[in-house]
Amino acid sequence: MKILIIDDDQALGRSLQIQLGMQQHETRCALAAERGLSEARAFAPDLIFLDVNLPDYSGLKALSALLAGPGSPTVVVITGESDNTAVVEAMHGGAFDFLRKPLDLDEVRQVIKRVTHLRAAAPAAADQEEALTESPAPEMIGNHPAIIALHKQIGLLARSRVTVLIEGESGTGKELAARILHQAAAPEQPFVAVNCSAVVATLLESEFFGHEKGAFTGADQTKIGKLEYAAGGSIFLDEIGDMPLDLQAKLLRVLQEEEFTRVGGLETLPLKARIIAATHCDLPRLVQEGRFREDLWYRLSVSTIRLPPLRDRRSDIPLLTEVLLTRITQRLQCRRPRLSGSALRKLQAHNWPGNIRELENVLTRAVALSVDPVLVADDLQLEPPAAGRPESKEELLSLAAAEKRHVERTLAAVDWNISQAARRLAVSPTTLRKKIRDYQLQNPFTPPSS
C-alpha cells in the first residue's frame, strides 16, 4: 500500500518508514498538518497514520480533509497523550482506528492487515462525516485497553441514532458513558436522565410521555414529558431493569413506532431522541424470571456497551486517584494531599465492589479527615472483605455467563486480535470465532456498513 505518516517525531516517522518499506509498502512522511495535507493531495495514499499533536494544529482538525482526499484514504490516529476525548472525536470523525504511543510494531502490522482486507472488500468509502469541533467533553479516565476500546465503540455509535444498552456494575460510570455518547453525537441537544428506580411507578408514565390538562386529578395544565423535551438529544433510562412491566410495554411501542402520545391526549408526537438505557442487572435472567419483557430487551440491546469493573483495570487506579484527588480538593476547597506509596498499594490491592464511586468516597473521607500533607494507608480506612464472602453479587455468574465475560474481556485487551486472544485463552482461532458467534459478541472496531 501507499502509506503516509503525519507526525512531528522524525525518529518515529523514519523508523516506521524503514519497517514498512521492508514489507514492500511505499511510504512518505510529513512533520506538520499542512504539509501532511499537501503530501496527501500529491501522493494519494491508501493509509495515513495521523498524530493528534502537530506543531501547526491538531491532527483531528485535518482528519475530515484527509478522509475526503484523493483515493479516500483510511486514517489511523495515533497519540502519546492520555486524553480519551480524542479517541471519541477520532472515531466519530471517521478514523479507522486509534493507537497509543509508544507504537507496537505488531499492532501496526495488524492494523495494516485489517485495512488491506477492508479496502479489498470496499475500495471506496463515500462522504465521510465531519469531525467534531474542539469543545470540552466528558471522558472516562483510564489507559486500560478496555477503556480505550470503550471510547472507540462510543465514537462509532455516535455516527448513528441507534438505541444503546449500557451494562455494568454499580459505580462503574454508566451515566458518564451515556453523556460521552451524547456529547459526541448531539452536544447542542438536551440530555435527559430518568432514574427508573427512583420515580414513583404511578408517575413514571406522566414523566415519560407528559400529560394533557385534565388527564387525571391534579393535572391542571398540560405538561411536556421527558421524551418530548429531549427533542433530538438523548433520553438516558437509568436502571431500566426496575421499570414496571406495564410501562415496559408502552416503551416497547414507542421504540417500535418511533412515536408517542401524551397521557390523556390524542395527538401523535414523533420520537426524535436517541434512547440510551443502563442497568447493573442481568436482564436475560430477569427475562427468564418474567420480570422484564424479552421483546423490549431485544429492542434495547441493538448495541451494547459493557463497562469493566475497577478490579479488572487496576492499572488505572493511580491515574484515577490523581484526577479524583484534584476534583475532591477543589470541591472541598482545601489543600490537596499527596498519596504515599503504601496508600497507593492499598488502593490497588482492594477489590472495589462499589467501583469508582467507592474509590471517590474513600478518597473524599480521607481528604476531609486528613491533617497531614501526605495520605498514608491507615488514612484510607479500607476494610478487608469478610472471609469467604463475595464482594459483589455481580460475581455470582453462571458458567456460561462467566465464560462469555472472560472471552469478551480477553478480546478487548488485545483489541479484538483473534490470534492473540486465542493464544491467551488456549483455544484455536476457529473455536474462539464459534464462541463469538454463540455469545453474539460485537467487535467495536468493525466500522458500520454504509
**Selection from 185, 251, 196, 262 nearest residue 229 by Cα:** 262
For the ranges 296-310, 402-416, 428-442, the maximum mean pLDDT occurs at 296-310
pLDDT of residue 431: 87
pLDDT at 120: 65
- Asked if the domains at 2-121 and 160-306 fall in one CATH topology, the answer is yes
Residue ranges covered by each domain of the chain: 2-121, 160-306, 311-380, 397-438
Region for residue 398 given its phi and psi (left: phi exceeds 0; alpha: psi -120 to 50; beta: otherwise): beta
Fold annotation for 311-380 = Helicase, Ruva Protein; domain 3 (1.10.8)
- Looking at residues 56-74, what average pLDDT do you find? 88
Q: Is pLDDT at 56 greater than 70 in this prediction?
A: yes
Supply the pLDDT for residue 397: 62
Cell numbers 492494523 label which residue? 111
Per-residue pLDDT at 436 exceeds 50: yes
Q: Out of 44-58, 181-195, 200-214, which region has the weakest mean confidence (pLDDT)?
A: 200-214
Give me the CATH topology for the region 397-438.
Arc Repressor Mutant, subunit A (1.10.10)
Reference 63, options 31, 92, 84, 100; nearest CA is 92
Instruction: Name the band, by pLDDT with cuts 50, 70 and 90, for residue 276.
Output: very high
State how beta strands 164-167 and 97-100 pair: unpaired
CATH class for the domain made up of 160-306: alpha beta
Higher pLDDT residue, 231 or 424? 231
pLDDT for 295 beyond 60: yes
Give dist(CA 92, CA 447) in Å, integer: 11
Residue 135 pLDDT greater than 80, yes or no: no
Tell me what pLDDT residue 392 has: 43
Q: Read off the pLDDT band of 4 (50, 70, 90).
A: very high
Q: What is the pLDDT of residues 307-321, one digit of tens each?
A: 999 999 998 999 999
What's the pLDDT at 390?
45
**Does position 124 have pLDDT exceeding 50, yes or no?**
no
pLDDT higher at 185 or 132:
185
| Confidence tier at 116 by pLDDT (50, 70, 90) | confident
pLDDT at position 128 is: 30
Rounded to a whole number of angstroms, the CA Rg of the chain reads 24
Looking at the predicted structure, is the pLDDT value of residue 134 above 80? no
Q: What is the pLDDT of residue 200?
A: 66
User: For the residues 95-120, what does the mean pLDDT come to?
Assistant: 84
Averaged confidence pLDDT in the chain: 83
Rounded to 5 degrees, φ, ψ at 156 are: -70, -40
SS3 216: coil
Residue 303 phi/psi, 5-degree rounding, is -140, 130
- The pTM of the full predicted model, rounded to 2 decimals, is 0.64
Give percent above pLDDT 90 in the chain. Answer: 32
The CATH architecture one would assign to domain 2-121 is: 3-Layer(aba) Sandwich (3.40)
Query: Are 405 and 425 in contact, with CB atoms under 8 Å apart?
Result: no
**Confidence class for position 125, pLDDT limits 50, 70, 90:** very low
Q: Give the residue among 362, 448, 347, 405 at the shortest CA–CA distance from 146.
A: 405
pLDDT at 388: 42
Return phi, psi of residue 65, to 5°.
-65, -40
Task: Tell me which residue has cell 413514571.
Answer: 204
State the pLDDT at residue 445: 57
Angle at 28 between CA 22 and CA 32, to 5 degrees: 140
